[in-house]
Structure 1
């Protein structure tokens, strides 16, 4: 190990490894390593996503994520910081919905990312919190929250952790996007899958995805490149 590598490790940053995540498959949990160059590229992609939604300096964001979800939310957090967005954090559980409601009432929140089904239920049960939530321009909801939000008259955008990669809806709300330079959606006999195409520490081919939908190859009018998954 070089002197620079030793110094980086002692400072709390591994010279090559940014983190380790886990995702579930039918046969158990799969661990995956994440390198620093990957984080940098994923952050650039997240910045493009924010630009598509016209999120910029001085805007306010609220991230509802577990600590263990850093491998998925980390690049988005870095992109938010790089962009100059002011952000707050909350847990994606019903017991923390009061903090979400308080932040929605106290700040002009433009982005909520990672809203879960149980948190959505708690917020919708409070008329004032539901009204505040309806005013949020960029509401990225997890799959288990989308339907109840729509039934309540809101227009959420969807996000999903698809194996080792997070996917997000664009302003057109016509599918879940990922970076086509890093990942490729595939259709197999058993359903939708994911293949790693970028230069990443974790390699995988035809990783089964626990999501229903169709792969859309036509370019999206939002300007983000690559195929996407339409879950409608």
Structure 2
């Protein structure tokens, strides 16, 4: 459902996709302006980790997730850190393991259950693969990795057309307060656009069950947080 107060007057630079509440894939046009706003929101979270320039960050994603994830990737690069990419699938888990061996990684973003399944098929221990780095993991992978001792594991969530990442406080994944009005209705996260977009949204049911937390986080970031339930 589109917000009648927002118009489709920002030219897109590309088209990606998002997952609707019913599990179907919907096209998602996005603009350079939206990409820059997403980068700034991700920087607010990354700032709390006090990363230094020159480090390597592994970024795992699929080719069609650019609309949600490109802002986060640009935020990592804006620190002067190097992004090393792999697919977030069971079939590319070998590359994930090789990257972790060949590069001195300070973080890994977007780890999925598929990646963990692929590592298991090769009899590789994820505690060793991700040792010594900050790991942002998606639902399913987060719970598995969080249970392993010694790992620094945080949430990253695809929330319809948005992407949320967790700060060191570990109390939910942050969503951009300027870009989105984030609500909880019947235990489901609902999004509305607050700024003009190539494709604005109004009361979009995301299908993500979770608690929305407002107020300033312990990390100092006032962006709302989503804590899956």
Calculate the TM-score normalised by the size of structure 1: 0.85
Determine the structure 2 residue equivalent to 1:116. 112
Structure 1 residue aligned with 2:210, among 188, 208, 213? 213
- Structure 1 residue matching 2:117: 3-state secondary structure: helix
- Greater mean deviation of Cα atoms: 181-190 or 163-172: 181-190
Task: Flag structure 1 segments of 5+ consecutive residues without an equivalent.
Answer: 1-14
- Distance in 2 (CA, whole Å) between partners of 1:155 and 1:231 is 18
- Structure 1 residue matching 2:184: 3-state secondary structure: strand
Change (3 A) 1:89 1:151: same
Structure 2 residue aligned with 1:135, among 132, 150, 164? 132
Q: How many residues align?
A: 216
- Structure 1 residue matching 2:98: 3-state secondary structure: helix
Residue pair 1:64, 1:91 contacting (<8 A) in 2 also? yes
Determine the structure 2 residue equivalent to 1:163. 160
- Distance in 1 (CA, whole Å) between partners of 2:80 and 2:177 is 26
- Greater mean deviation of Cα atoms: 187-196 or 79-88: 187-196
Aligned-residue offset at 1:96? 1.4
Determine the structure 2 residue equivalent to 1:104. 100
Q: Which structure is higher in RCO with an 8 Å CA cutoff and minimum separation 6?
A: 2
> Which entry has the higher C-alpha Rg, 1 or 2?
1
The yes-or-no answer on 1:144 pairing with 2:127 is no
Structure 1 residue aligned with 2:18, among 15, 19, 23? 23
Residue pair 2:92, 2:118 contacting (<8 A) in 1 also? no
- Greater mean deviation of Cα atoms: 163-172 or 186-195: 186-195
The yes-or-no answer on 1:87 pairing with 2:80 is no
Structure 1 residue aligned with 2:194, among 193, 197, 214? 197
String of CA shifts for 1:91-130, please: whole Å, max 9, x gaps: 1112211111111122221110110102123336413x53
Residue pair 1:185, 1:227 contacting (<8 A) in 2 also? yes
Determine the structure 1 residue equivalent to 2:179. 182
Task: Flag structure 2 segments of 5+ consecutive residues without an equivalent.
Answer: 1-9
- Distance in 1 (CA, whole Å) between partners of 2:11 and 2:117 is 41
Could you say which structure has the higher helix fraction? Answer: 1
